[in-house]
Amino acid sequence: MFEEFTDERVDVGEVELRVRHAGHGPAVLLIHGHPRTGSTWHRVAPRLVERGFTVVCPDMRGYGQSGKAEVRPDHAQQSKRTVALDLVRLMRKLGHATFTVVGHDRGCYVALRLALDHPGLVDRLVVMDGVPISEALARCDATFAHDWYHWFFFAQPDKPERAILADPDAWYGGNREAMGADNYDEYRHAIHDPATVRAMLEDYRAGLGLDREHEEADRRAGRTVTCPTLFVWSTDDDMEDLYGDPLSVWRPWASDLRGVPINSGHHMAEQAPDSLAAILADFLSTSSNTGAAQR
């Protein structure tokens, strides 16, 4: 994976982040989701480099081979605000004054927080297969509680760690051929590490508390994303089942919004890398279209 990419650890203050980066041109920060690592982008990142972009693929704090912070009672060490600040410091140390942020799954919540908290740094925002945490909770019904029960189970103390670590492969699954051998091996190493599993669960614990509160404070203050924003959702995932038109959930959060469905399952970077790379490159190359909401 990641041939000709630099693979290093970068100190961002409280933790060190494992990061792979390469390329020349406008910078693109790719943020993975749960329970993946930065290696989930191994089929997309080289394609973006070939198209003239600098690509940065970190493991978020707590995930993969990045550092794990001491757990705090309010779970602030894994809040999206804290993780976003790590990534701001990372990009600054790599020499990128401004950049595009792309986030998938749990990474889309970090990407949103980064764009809201640091608007002067984010040129464009791409969020994939997720809606803001506060919006998901506000719309929670029996279907969401049934299909996304893990949000509430993961927020409980201790028992989720015990359940997952009893048999991580059975809990998380994964397919070596579909994911790519090296990506699969890296992912399996992560899900078998007790410290990583606990940190990944802390992501969800922060989500139901501080992260929801931060988003609700943004809405009360009328704070929105000011840069061009793209929402990409998988046609074989459940965004449309849960929300009908998922763009309708995002419209209050971004003044310059467009959306593209992609023929893929949830892990689109692994399952549909050509299509995803083309969608991202096209969005990164187009001019701003304020007020647009396309599908």
**pLDDT (average), residues 11-37:** 98
Collapsing DSSP states into helix, strand and coil, what is residue 5? coil
How many domains does the chain divide into? Answer: 1
- pLDDT at residue 287, as a whole number: 58
Instruction: Decide if pLDDT at 255 tops 90.
Output: yes
Residue 286's pLDDT band (cuts 50, 70, 90) = confident
Residue 279's pLDDT band (cuts 50, 70, 90) = very high
User: pLDDT over 70 for what percent of the chain?
Assistant: 97
Give the whole-angstrom CA distance, residue 67 versus residue 69.
6
Task: Flag whether 291 is in a domain.
Answer: no
Instruction: Decide if pLDDT at 12 tops 90.
Output: yes
Q: Is the dihedral of CA 197, 13, 56, 229 positive or negative?
A: positive
List CB contacts of 244: < 8 A, sequence separation 6 or more: none
Task: Flag whether 223 is in a domain.
Answer: yes
Task: Flag whether 131 is in a domain.
Answer: yes
Task: Flag whether 164 is in a domain.
Answer: yes
Q: From the candidates 59, 86, 105, 211, which is the catalytic residue?
A: 105
**CA nearest neighbour of 59 among 87, 82, 80:** 87
Give the whole-angstrom CA distance, residue 183 versus residue 39.
6
Instruction: Decide if pLDDT at 294 tops 60.
Output: no
Q: What are the angstrom distances between the C-alpha of 275 and each of 126, 184, 280, 287?
A: 15, 21, 9, 20
Instruction: Decide if pLDDT at 288 tops 80.
Output: no
Task: Flag whether 290 is in a domain.
Answer: no
Q: Which two tokens stand for residue 34?
A: 């749960």
- What is the rounded average pLDDT for all residues in the chain? 96
This prediction has a pTM of 0.96
Residue 163's pLDDT band (cuts 50, 70, 90) = very high
Range of the domain at 153: 6-285
Q: What is the pLDDT of residues 78-106, one digit of tens each?
A: 999 999 999 999 999 999 999 999 999 99
Task: Flag whether 27 is in a domain.
Answer: yes
Q: Is the dihedral of CA 149, 152, 158, 159 positive or negative?
A: negative
Among 154-163, 171-180, 283-292, which is the least confidently predicted range?
A: 283-292
Q: Has 266 been annotated as catalytic? A: yes
Q: From the candidates 34, 118, 192, 266, which is the catalytic residue?
A: 266
CATH number of the domain that residue 185 is part of: 3.40.50.1820
Collapsing DSSP states into helix, strand and coil, what is residue 278? helix
Task: Flag whether 292 is in a domain.
Answer: no
Residue 282's pLDDT band (cuts 50, 70, 90) = very high
Task: Flag whether 293 is in a domain.
Answer: no
Q: Has 7 been annotated as catalytic? A: no
